[in-house]
Structure 1
Amino acid sequence: MASLSGISELCENPNDVFLDVSKLLLTYADNILRNPEEEKFRSIRIGNPTFSTRLLPIRGAVRCLFDMGFEEGETHLVFPKTSSVEQLRHIRELIAAERDHRLQGSPSSPPVVNQNTNPTLSQTVPNATPSPPAPEVQQPQSIMSFLSTLQSNFEHVLIYENPDVQEKALSCIPLLQLQDKVQENLLEATTEDPDHVWTEVYSTSQSRWLHCDPCENVCDKPLLYEIGWGKKLSYIIAFSKDEVVDVTWRYSCKHQEVLTRRTKAPESWLRKSLNELNSVSKAFVFTPSEEESKHKLFHLQYNTAKDCYIRVSNNKEQINGWDNGVWSLESVFRKTEMDWKMAYLARIEKSSSARICWKFDCGGFGFKIKNVSVRANSQTFHSGKVTWSLRANDQSVHLDGDTQLHEYDFTGATDLVLEAELTGGEGDSAWQHTQLFRQSLTDERFYPLEIIITMESA
């Protein structure tokens, strides 16, 4: 009898997530059933944005493909000719039955299958695997040891920013052949607790990080360790000179199992610690340049599609990367929806709240603020909430988050902080229900964040 564990996990997702993912799974299955001899329908490229962004992160989605009979190849999930088409059809019918049931307006908790009876379609989805008991978290001494490991690894990658070390490495590298192929900030080291290290390379064309393991001579095969090697994953942490990120979830299709092994620290503590490490490394403050001091004007714009700041008042200086202009942040990342062709800043998945701040300071340069104009656009869904505030010294005002440029009176202030706090939302997709600067990937003219500050001598 075919395994049904994937469907059980899939049914635990929120209704909107289930409907989206089940539609994709049915498409994959139907393509094979309708065209059994067509090779192109029997494989799914792991690097495909639809797979990597809409299926891979969703509980039970990849497991359903394995239950159908797909197997992992070098760069694709493949449905071999030796796999049972009847098994695929069976899984497909179960998913379709649950999808039809939900579309009729009554999402159900998966009932138990009684194997001694002939169940109806509404009974064919197996009982969801019970949630495992909360893992026993280590004592404070072990937690501090874990934090020490995170800090030391974060500091270790900075060794490779040492000019002497770089010069030594460059003497061994065929530099001329590589110079036209490498780009700044494209590499980060990734470590899987406890014994394997690989890298991730940022693809500018796909706007995402790609798994690359030189030891195994493979690229963009994130399920290699869990499915290929049978590794029992727990923590997979990525370190670069700019940030440290928990990337465990993009290397696993068995999220519930992984959670039971993450016992070194509470999840909330881990998120907080990573946020603090990243905040210390960033803390960027805008201060008047020579050109801006001359004209007593600071003008900044940010475009999410290009992921780029334009410092209009400083000869249109370009700053690439949203986080390279941020003063402080907590649980925020830039989300690219390749299927919908949209980009925005959002909360990190599974985080209940997030915060991001930008800061401008002119006090140390002999200036004070005369007036301020700000556009800070945000969108919310369901019960999601974005709270914007603009503050200076003892003054503070709330912003509406619309698309208009609004003027505010902060006369006499010497520094200014723009802050967004993201909270609320519903279900496992709550993080997507609060979005900053959402815009089309083809929209390179509109700037959903814009700050204009005129100054005067103090």
Structure 2
Amino acid sequence: MDSVLQLVNNPIDVFEETSRLLLKIADNVINTPNNPKLRSLQKSNETITKKILNVHGGIACLKAMGFQESEQCFNLPINDPLINLKQIRVEINRLKNGEKSVSNIPNNVRVENNTKTENDQVQGNNGVPEHFKRIQLPSYTSLFNNPFLKEIELYLHRALYYENSYLQERALSVIPLKQLEENAQIALRTMQERVKREKLKDPEVNLQDFLLLELLAWFKNDFFEWVDNPPCSTCKGKTKFSHKSTDKELMQFTDRVEMHKCNTCNTLTPFPRYNDLNILLETRKGRCGEWANTFTLMCRALGWDARFVVDQTDHVWTEVYSFSQRKWLHCDPCENICDKPLMYESGWKKTVSYVIAYSGEEVQDVTWRYSSKHKEVLKRRKQCTEAELVEAMGILRENKMSGLSQSRKDYLNKRFLSELVEFMVEKQPTDDAQVGRTSGALDWRQSRGEIQRTNKSQFVWEFNSSDVCNDFITIQYSSALNQYQKVTVDGATIALNNWDAGVFETEGVFRKVETDWKKVYLCRTESKSAQSGHITWKFIISDRNYSFDTIEYAIERTTFENASVTAKICNNDQCVLLTTDKGTTNEFSGKKEFMITTNLSGGKSDNAWQHAQLCREDLDSKDFTFKVRFTFKKG
């Protein structure tokens, strides 16, 4: 097709990135055809504009797929049969295969004898590039007999991959460093202006800290792809894990290949779980292991001190040392989260036992950073004695540092001691650590018990004698800032951070951040069984000489697929239904208290939970989409 052929006229790196995004858009629609947000591409989205709309042939491909252009976005009609979209997807794949062939691994993978039936087929492409170069590490002889200590030794040895100059160069070549640095500089300046304007304490952060946040966001939103079950290689239908392969031909570059059977045509699609960083820079997909492995390499490629962190209860992530803050920052690329180490124990409800960090220079037991229950953790640590672990870590650390300069050794030892002092303080989880896992399918996360939402309650907005002397007071909330402000004639002040910190009662609601579409809003808890959710805010006057007069409100409500968001103002005597998003009422004039309640319900399919939304905003918005403004009167 002409629209697809136009892509070839771009530089090879532009072609690769644009075709990758187009395939991702097509796969998202094919895999979840009833999700309206996957059929809408906003022109305001920087990635869409820069990597598709501004690329020769990009718009032509979207229109050939069936997307229709409007002033603000490209939309694929919900009733589109997807025939053109699937055809364009096939053509782009053919073009990519013509540009870059596959070496050693055939397109049609033979089925294993112990699983084959007359209706079973196996097809797939393992994605190993023709220019694949295997990096060999020096061999080593194990120092320990204990299996757990042997495993620590192996992980430490593998951390040498992050120091390989070839891999670091390859990683740097795919990072849009200039754009990330520009974004980081803007964020840093914005923070500095706010500190100056609001006379806040100057935080100990620098450009590296902001660049790290930009790298995390780009890695999750634009670079890497999470895979629960790969789409069928024949019909692109949904698949389900079947078994692990024992076929040596499939396992040339990995020792673990999952086989996923199509629910429709019974095709077996292989999903290799690669550890090789050279391959991962090409495939750009996987689960937490592949994500953290690649992200750690990128951090080292940028010259940062970074460590690969392994939690024995089945998760991995990265730590990056912040020189400005003088501490290690927990970074989970799967979740796009930085410096919330208690999230796993508090939000995911993990029972932490051993958490070990590995780099090319050192190994460290960092368990104590990730738990607020140190005594309970100690009871669970039974792989070896604590003395054996400390001794083994000391030996491995000394061996790693033997080839370093004396000044580097002195620096690492000083930092090591500072970290040990940090571990002596048992920190308690803050509100932002009370968050469940977001990566992976909902059913998978529920089966692992890693979804956890907490709801604050019983907060009351109380106005005293000094408040009622104002001509008006406004309580306003921004989803983007996740912040309440109290506004008077003298200006705005930050009242509370976090949406649930300012509510009287809430059930089945959380703050949803859509990093791919750059949107944020309040919606129902991510659950197939949750039929509704509600939030109640309560306001009272404590001054006995005053009461409320007028109430002016503005509550942004957004719905999809026949969902509903209702709102009402009530006190002990009456209720008033708010039929519009903005309005004024004096029905409660003379009253001392009232409550505003919103109820979210309805929607269709598995995504019904997000079809009723409150306070929907752009992630970079400065607007306040929940506002309640009061005037007062005597009596």
**TM-score, length basis structure 1:** 0.52
Distance of aligned partners of 1:322 and 1:181 in 2 relative to their CA distance in 1, 3 Å threshold: farther
Q: Could you tell me how far 1:408 is from its partner in structure 2?
A: 4.1
CA distance in 1, matches of 2:584, 2:532: 26
Structure of greater relative contact order (alpha carbons < 8 Å, 6+ residues apart): 1
Structure 1 residue aligned with 2:34: 16
1:297 matched residue in structure 2:
472
Cα deviation code 1:205-257 (max 9, x no counterpart): xxxxxxxx934999xxxxxxxxxxxxxxxxxxxx834377462554xx47646
Secondary structure in structure 2 of the residue aligned to 1:383: coil
Match of residue 160 from structure 1 = none
Range moving further from structure 2, 325-334 or 369-378: 325-334
Q: Distance in 2 between the 1:46 and 1:422 partners?
A: 32
Q: Relative to 1, partners in 2 of residues 1:300 and 1:197: Cα closer, same or farther, differing over 3 Å? A: farther
Q: Does 1:406 align with 2:559?
A: no
CA distance in 1, matches of 2:621, 2:466: 29
User: Which residue is 2:264 aligned to?
Assistant: 111
CA-CA distance at 1:423 after TM superposition: 1.1
Give the superposed CA RMSD: 5.4
CA distance 1:322–1:193, shift in 2 (3 Å): closer
Maintained 8 Å contact 2:464/2:543:
no
Question: What secondary structure does 1:397 align onto?
Answer: strand
* 1:190 counterpart letter in structure 2: Y
Residues paired across the two proteins, number: 307
Whether 1:331 and 2:331 are equivalent positions in the alignment is no
- The answer (yes or no) to whether the contact 1:190–1:198 under 8 Å persists in 2 is no
CA separation of 1:305/1:258 partners in 2, compared to 1, >3 Å: closer, same or farther?
closer
Judge conservation of contact 2:464–2:542 (CA < 8 Å) in 1.
no
Identity among equivalent pairs (%): 21
Task: Provide the rounded CA distance (Å) in 2 between the counterparts of 1:179 and 1:289.
Answer: 43
Runs of 4+ in 1 over 6 A off after TM superposition: 10-13, 26-32, 40-47, 179-182
Residue 49 of structure 1 is aligned with which of 214, 220, 223?
220
The 10-residue stretch of structure 1 (342-351 or 42-51) with the greater mean CA deviation from structure 2: 42-51
Matches within 5 A, 1:249-264: 250=439, 253=440, 256=443, 259=446
The CA deviation at 1:422 is 0.9
Question: Which residues of 2 match residues 1-400 of structure 1 at below 5 A?
Answer: 14-17=32-35, 20=38, 33=97, 34-35=99-100, 36=129, 37=131, 48-50=219-221, 56=226, 60=229, 82=253, 110-113=263-266, 124=267, 178=325, 188-191=342-345, 192-196=349-353, 214-215=366-367, 240-242=429-431, 245=434, 247-248=436-437, 250=439, 253=440, 256=443, 259=446, 275=454, 278-279=455-456, 282-289=457-464, 291-295=466-470, 297-313=472-488, 315-319=491-495, 320-350=497-527, 351-400=530-579
* Counterparts in 2 of 1:196 and 1:216: CA distance versus 1, 3 Å: same
Residues 401 and 349 of structure 1: is their aligned pair in 2 closer, same or farther, counting only changes over 3 Å? farther
SS at match of 1:346: strand
Look up the match of 2:146: none
CA contact 1:55–1:62 (8 Å) conserved in 2:
no
Q: 1:309 to 1:393 in 2, by over 3 A?
A: same
Alignment-derived partner of residue 134 in structure 1:
none
Structure 2 contact 341–369 (Cα < 8 Å) conserved: no
Distance 1:179 1:408, change over 3 A: farther
Amino acid at match of 1:421: N
Which amino acid in the other structure matches residue 358 of structure 1? Answer: W
Cα 1:243/1:353, change in 2 over 3 Å: farther
- Structure 1 residue 188: deviation in Å? 3.5
Provide the rounded CA distance (Å) in 2 between the counterparts of 1:242 and 1:390: 28
In the alignment, residue 50 of structure 1 is paired with which amino acid? N
How far 1:16 moved relative to its partner? 3.1
**Aligned CA distance change for structure 1 residues 338 and 416 (closer, same or farther; 3 Å):** same
Structure 1 residues 329 and 19: CA distance shift in structure 2, 3 A: closer
Structure 1 residues 381-435: Cα deviation after superposition (integer angstroms, max 9, x where no partner): 0021111111122121111353x34334211211121111111111221111011
Is the Cα contact below 8 Å between 1:189 and 1:198 reproduced in 2?
Answer: no
- Preserved contact between residue 352 and residue 367 of structure 2 (Cα < 8 Å): no
Q: Which has the higher Rg, Structure 1 or Structure 2?
A: 2
Instruction: List runs of 5+ in structure 1 lacking aligned partners.
Output: 1-9, 68-79, 96-109, 114-123, 127-175, 200-212, 219-238
Deviation at 1:326, TM superposition (A): 1.7
Match of 1:451 in 2: 628
SS at match of 2:469: helix
1:6-43 C-alpha deviation (Å, 9 max, x unpaired): xxxx99975335995999xx799889744444966999
Alpha-carbon separation, structure 2, partners of 1:62 and 1:46: 26
TM-aligned CA distance change 1:317 to 1:14, over 3 Å: same
C-alpha separation between the residues in 2 aligned to 1:42 and 1:287?
55
- In structure 2, runs of 5+ residues without a counterpart are 1-27, 40-81, 101-128, 133-169, 176-214, 234-238, 240-250, 270-322, 330-338, 357-364, 371-427
Distance 2:232 2:253 in 1: 19
Q: Cα offset for 1:343? A: 1.4
SS in 1 for 2:461: coil
Specify whether residues 19 and 373 from structure 1 end up closer, same or farther in structure 2 by C-alpha distance, changes over 3 A only.
Answer: closer
Q: What TM-score, normalized to structure 2?
A: 0.39
